[in-house]
């Protein structure tokens, strides 16, 4: 993948040897002395075409005296391929930061250096990705040498990525709008709408990023809660995700509309919406695959093919890119006493190609105790639920239920039963082939596949996720968006309210402190949930009588019988106070295993041999150099040895 790109750039490399750290004092390049004036020229570097400025000056701080010399340098080559080397991590941040050094900003005849604080924050976040591929931090990104302070008028090279409201535009004010604009939203428009919505409802909403796509677009989430930005005890967390396949755009638009609707209805005093947002923390990720969307949008509604833009920029299907924990579940289910929930991610998974979008979702799940989730797709009209992978791998269609089959059917029906088109009795309509099953289906009974997001949610965390197919047209025309919203508004709200079904409570010790590694099990359902760090837990359950058990290592079990009425729409409160086991030999209950003994967890920052969530270690070559070194050796006689750590 890197060889063609590097080969093209290497042809010109001999024209200029670049600047080696060893040739300058203290191991760095000579930096020109500060000058009161410089000749600004147009910035014509392809790798820096999206910089926040359009003029630079030569010679550069690395003594490149022309654009041609800079383009032939190993520093520029590194910037051009860095997002491939790091598999999308820290892209485009590092590239733009490097551009600000190699081709500094020039305004009014003066050169402005990038801000030191920006460099320091980025190095802290991205250093593990370099460590994972045994690459040294590039010398020209030395925060102390090539960056300046605010007192000297430095600039932020990442300012275009901030996506804030225009400086000249006041935050929205006045009464909330009572109408929505039913149109397709580009990436920039989507970001703008979400940020403006959060600004209008700042007391109940905020936006945050869970990471970036391979091409560097923010995976932007808008959350709604009575206390945005923090988890509240016994308040369930719900996530809705759209556009996992870039050409399936209806879910993206539905979540953009839902965000505006929640904000407006709350401000207008809707009792239902106020009650929902005051008791639930809702996270909306309209586009999990913004790169794929750009490919699909270039063709446009009505012209998009069945697959154009489906994958991410790495040509990966994100809904086939998650760890296959379902196979492990099937292996363990026959073993008496084996844990079949909160399964660890296999270490070999990290040696494959894992998309940055997939990693972002997994890390998001690790940091937020989600209870309920829905992934919005397009291409049919049905609600499917786990498992998506058949118990017999060679069976393309086979009913493969989870231990929570009854609850998953309730969740699926909560959506389908209030969707007017899913309840239409015509067999000739979109989704008519699912009429006999009430427009819901077990995923593997529809078609079996591995690496899906819903199976991973259920087997790796406490979260129950369903998949909603919103219609047969993947990229509907704009005139179809209003009817789609009318059909899905009530199902979306009803589904989110399902987070309050079952039981919730606290698991504490006799002093009222949260019990570490506590888990809650239900007799007859081989799937436990774990308590959050604060001691609160949620267990989605269907109506009926259940035997519920709370337990933790070093504590005695507590068993309670609970009855959930059929019409109960608010989770019942069931608390547990665990007593420590008496002194003496103790039988410790094994908690959920995140990784094998002696191996670090990639989602916690480092994996086997130290690889972080964000880079894939590859074998070293026979010469003892890192695997990527061979691609740089043909650049010139001045090889970038500053990239070697040893």
How many helices (H) does the chain have, and how many strands (E)? 17, 20
467 CA to centre of own chain: 17
Residues 316, 318, 321, 326, CA torsion sign: negative
Q: Say what angle helices 187-200 and 250-267 make with each other, to 10 degrees.
A: 20
Give the CA-trace dihedral at 497, 503, 506, 510, to 10 degrees: 170
State the helix-helix crossing angle for 116-132 and 93-102, rounded to 10 degrees: 120
- Which of 104, 54, 102 lies closest to 77, judged by CA? 102
Q: Exposed, middle or buried by CB within 10 Å (0-12, 13-18, 19+), for 406? A: middle
Pairing of strands 464-471, 370-377: parallel
DSSP one-letter code for 47:
G
Residue pair 440/383 in contact by the 8 Å Cβ criterion = yes
Rounded CA separation 469/416 (Å): 10
Report the C-alpha gap between 638 and 646 in whole angstroms.
Answer: 17
The pair phi, psi for residue 21, each rounded to 5°, is: -55, -35
Q: Cα dihedral sign for 249, 252, 257, 261?
A: positive
Other CB atoms within 10 A of residue 267 CB: 17
Report the distance separating Cα 593 and Cα 579, nearest Å. Answer: 24
The residues that are catalytic are 469
Within 333-469, where are the H helices? 356-367, 405-416, 443-446, 453-460
- Shortest CA distance to 544 belongs to which of 502, 575, 499? 502
């Amino acid at each position: 993948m890197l060889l063609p790109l590097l080969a093209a750039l290497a042809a010109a490399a001999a024209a200029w040897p670049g600047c080696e750290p060893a040739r300058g004092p203290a191991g760095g390049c000579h930096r020109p002395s500060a000058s009161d004036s410089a000749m600004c020229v147009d910035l014509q570097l392809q790798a820096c075409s999206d910089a926040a400025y359009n003029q630079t000056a030569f010679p550069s701080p690395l003594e490149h005296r022309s654009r041609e010399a800079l383009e032939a340098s190993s520093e520029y080559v590194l910037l051009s391929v860095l997002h491939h080397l790091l598999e999308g991590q820290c892209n485009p941040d590092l590239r733009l930061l490097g551009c600000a050094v190699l081709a500094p900003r020039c305004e009014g005849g003066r050169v402005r250096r990038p801000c030191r604080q920006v460099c320091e924050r980025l190095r802290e976040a991205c250093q593990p990705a370099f460590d994972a591929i045994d690459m040294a931090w590039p010398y020209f990104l030395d925060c102390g040498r090539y960056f300046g302070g605010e007192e000297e008028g430095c600039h932020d090279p990442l300012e275009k990525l901030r996506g804030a409201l225009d400086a000249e535009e006041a935050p929205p004010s006045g009464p909330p709008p009572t109408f929505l604009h039913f149109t397709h939203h580009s990436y920039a428009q989507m970001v703008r709408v979400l940020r403006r919505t959060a600004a209008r409802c700042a007391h109940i909403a905020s936006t945050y990023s869970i990471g970036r796509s391979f091409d560097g677009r923010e995976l932007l989430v808008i959350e709604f809660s009575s206390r945005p930005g923090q988890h509240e005890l016994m308040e369930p967390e719900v996530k809705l995700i759209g556009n996992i396949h870039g050409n399936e755009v209806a879910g993206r638009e539905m979540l953009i509309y839902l965000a505006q609707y929640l904000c407006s209805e709350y401000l207008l005093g809707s009792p239902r919406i106020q009650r929902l947002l005051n008791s639930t923390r809702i996270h909306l990720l309209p586009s999990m695959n913004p790169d794929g969307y750009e490919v699909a949008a270039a063709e446009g509604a009505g012209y998009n093919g069945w697959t154009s833009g489906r994958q991410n920029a790495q040509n990966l299907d994100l809904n086939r890119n998650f760890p296959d924990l379902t196979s492990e579940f099937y292996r363990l289910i026959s073993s008496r006493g084996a844990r079949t929930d909160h399964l660890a991610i296999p270490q070999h998974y990290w040696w494959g190609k894992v998309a940055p979008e997939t990693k972002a979702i997994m890390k998001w799940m690790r940091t937020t105790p989600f209870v309920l989730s829905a992934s919005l797709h397009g291409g049919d009209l049905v609600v499917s639920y786990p498992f998506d992978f058949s118990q017999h791998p060679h069976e393309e269609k086979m009913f493969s239920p989870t231990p929570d089959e009854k609850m998953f059917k309730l969740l699926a029906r909560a959506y389908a039963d209030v969707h007017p088109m899913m309840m239409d009795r015509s067999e000739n309509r979109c989704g008519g082939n699912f009429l006999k099953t009430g427009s819901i289906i077990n995923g593997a009974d529809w078609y079996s596949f591995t690496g899906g997001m819903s199976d991973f949610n259920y087997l790796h965390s406490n979260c129950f996720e369903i998949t909603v197919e919103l219609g047969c047209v993947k990229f509907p025309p704009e005139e179809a968006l209003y009817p789609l919203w009318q059909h899905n508004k009530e199902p979306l709200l009803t589904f989110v309210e399902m987070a309050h079904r079952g039981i919730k409570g606290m698991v504490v010790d006799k002093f009222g402190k949260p019990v570490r590694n506590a888990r809650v099990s239900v007799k007859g359902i081989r799937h436990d949930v774990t308590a959050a760090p604060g001691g609160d837990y949620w267990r989605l359950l269907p109506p009926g009588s259940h035997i519920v058990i709370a337990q933790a290592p070093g504590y005695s079990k507590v068993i309670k019988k609970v009855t959930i009425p059929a019409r109960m729409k608010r989770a019942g409160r069931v608390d547990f106070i665990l007593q420590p086991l008496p002194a003496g030999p103790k039988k410790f209950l094994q908690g959920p295993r995140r990784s094998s003994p002696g191996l670090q967890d990639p989602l916690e920052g480092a994996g086997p041999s130290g690889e972080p969530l964000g880079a894939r270690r590859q074998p070293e070559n026979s010469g003892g150099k890192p695997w990527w070194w061979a691609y740089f050796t043909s650049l010139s006689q001045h090889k970038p040895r500053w990239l070697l750590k040893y």
